A and B are shown apart, each in its own frame.
Chain A
Amino acid sequence: MPLQLADPVCAPADAGGDSEYLYTLNFGPQHPATHTTLRLVLTLDGETIVKAVPDIGFLHSGFEKLGEDLDFNQYVTIVDRMNYISPFANEVSWFHTVEKLLGIEVTPRCKYLRTILAELARISDHLLCVAAAALDLGGLTAFFYAFNEREKVYDIMESASGQRFHPSYLRVGGMMTDITDDVVQKIRDFVKTFPKALNDLARLLNKNKIFQDRTKGVGVLTKEEAVNRSVTGPQARASGVTRDLRKDEPYLAYPELNSAWKVVASKGGDCLARYLVRMGEMAESLKIVAAAVENIPSGPVNVDVEGKVSIPDKTATYRSIEGLIQHFELFMWNRRIETPVNEVYGATETANGELGFYLVADGSAKAFRARTRPPSFIHFALFPHLIEGHQISDVPAVLGSLNIIAAELDR
């Protein structure tokens, strides 16, 4: 049966006699302030928003269905493309869950490297969020200052993995390769130069009259609402929820680095508070990176090949019989990794909040079900609650402070 074009979101509201002056504005899906493909149907009374209905799904590409067809190592390329602003953090979350399912503990060196790169990804994500929010509110200069620093993070990712945007750097039980001294040097340089750049950014925005006026008191989320609406990450911490998985359910090297940093939280709950929490988190992330990069343990990055989960490096594959056998064991369709017939939920703290995977395994090397808990999806559901009663010019401010990434929203 052929599909019919249907647009229930736009169906005319039951406008009574006294609400005829309301009118409807279609915002997006292609609009500069949405940055990606989101659509909002706004009902306006003059310039005041009476009702906002988000319409999503434009970027839906069946990531979770693909997760049932690709094996754990292959799916990393898809996970990268969820929150493509900080892809490395998504990889950490995915392999955290897979390794939890398999009962593997990665090596100390791998833990530190993953921690450092995940924190750099967080800095990169927050920089983009802050910069794009400022850009939408008219602060173009801040955008260039932030993107200058993001380039440096991309350079580090490129030196480590070979790719700037989608590193696909992790594997079950470890990483694709070890890092080189060049990467360590680049991270050290970044640790030295970033505080000044962050300070510049703060001086451009923190006391900027226009930025303050457009974000203070806009889109207020109370603590009760944040808990009731399942909000996590900087959005929740800006409303006074202090939960941070890096402290509350420590993973990777965070238990050892616990004393190096603090959780950033605020009680404001408005767009300005969310901005300030992000700025504070960047400074704290840099402290984690600074502490971790000087303490990277030596040793292998992959778990022992005897465990039959980690891919042997190319030298072992080509030069030793054990390595060759192990390589084939992992890549032949009828062998591969054996999993327990069970299910597990693993979550890590990404830049946007709690990114979790509910992984159901049926004994094979593919996930039977790879449910993603996408923070952007849950945060965008907040949008009507935050925007109703505000002006139409507040839409970019609230959207920018929620940091909605459509690829993760629609998956």
Chain B
Amino acid sequence: MSTAIDKLKAEFRDAIGTSEFRDNKRVMVPAEQVFDALKLLRAAGFDFLCDIAGIDYLGYPDATDRFAVVYSLTNLATGERLFVKTFVNDPDPELPSVYSLWKGADWMEREVFDLFGIRFPGHPNLQRILMPEAFQDHPLRKDYPLRGHGERHNLPVLTRAES
């Protein structure tokens, strides 16, 4: 574990921050270096991409950035976990796609794009996955309301004559 983080620190100098809570070890990487950092970690033994989670920090206590994306990595040989966290901001949140490193990232990135509106340049097929293709918003953003009048009221109604 420490060797992988040491390698990361040697490569990126001051750009890396670390934190720890319970048994979770996290490294904070700037958005422009996240691809290289993940590539390095993959070579250092963290060969399993467990999950990609998007978070919207709007209204979170002491938050300075709007969005975070957390890559959960696992070292299958030793069973260690490492969480790589990176922050992105409006107006154009985007992160490089890691599809070229892990094919498992395909749908995970599509989901983050769908629900948070964070784009992943380099993804082979970045489309909405859970919401309908013509949907306009990104529902897991904090400024998207939980309840109230929404898009359902505007859904086109097919009549018998048209169908």
Name A's B-contacting residues (CB within 8 A).
Answer: 1-8, 56-57, 60, 62, 64-66, 68-69, 100-101, 103, 225, 227-231, 241, 243, 248-249, 340-345, 347, 354, 356, 358, 360, 362-363, 368-369, 371, 373, 377-378, 380-381, 385, 410-411
Contact = CB atoms under 8 A, between A and B. Distances in A.
Interface in B1-45: 21-22, 24
Contact of B76 (A62, A227, A371): A227
B10 to A, nearest CB: 26
Given A60-B130, A227-B47, A369 B21 contact: no
A358 B53 contact: yes
Interface string B31-65: 00000000000000001111101111000111000
A410 B131 CA distance: 9
Given A3-B155, A8-B127, A354-B50, A230 B104 contact: yes
Contacts of B72: 345, 356, 358, 373
B107 A378 contact: yes
A4 B22 contact: no
A115 B136 CA distance: 44
Interface residues of B, number: 47
Contacts, number: 122
Contacts of B103: 225, 228-229, 385
B50 A60 contact: no
Contacts of B155: 2-3
A64 B130 contact: no
A5 B108 CA distance: 25
Contact of A228 (B22, B102, B111): B102
B129 A3 contact: no
Interface in B92-133: 102-108, 111, 115, 127-133
Contact of A381 (B61, B104, B130): B104
B83 interface: yes
Contacts of A228: 102-104
20 contacts: A1-B154, A3-B151, A5-B134, A57-B128, A57-B131, A65-B139, A65-B146, A227-B76, A229-B103, A230-B49, A230-B105, A341-B62, A344-B22, A345-B72, A347-B50, A358-B51, A368-B60, A369-B56, A373-B50, A410-B130
Contact of A249 (B79, B115, B128, B156): B79
B145 to A, nearest CB: 10
Contacts of A345: 24, 51, 72, 81, 83
A301 to B, nearest CB: 23
A363 B59 CA distance: 12
Contacts of A64: 115, 140
B70 A229 contact: no
B107 to A, nearest CB: 4
Among B133, B139, B140, B146, chain A packs the most CB atoms within 10 A around the CB of B133
A100 B105 CA distance: 27
Contact of A373 (B51, B129, B132): B51
B61 A56 contact: no
A4 B136 contact: no
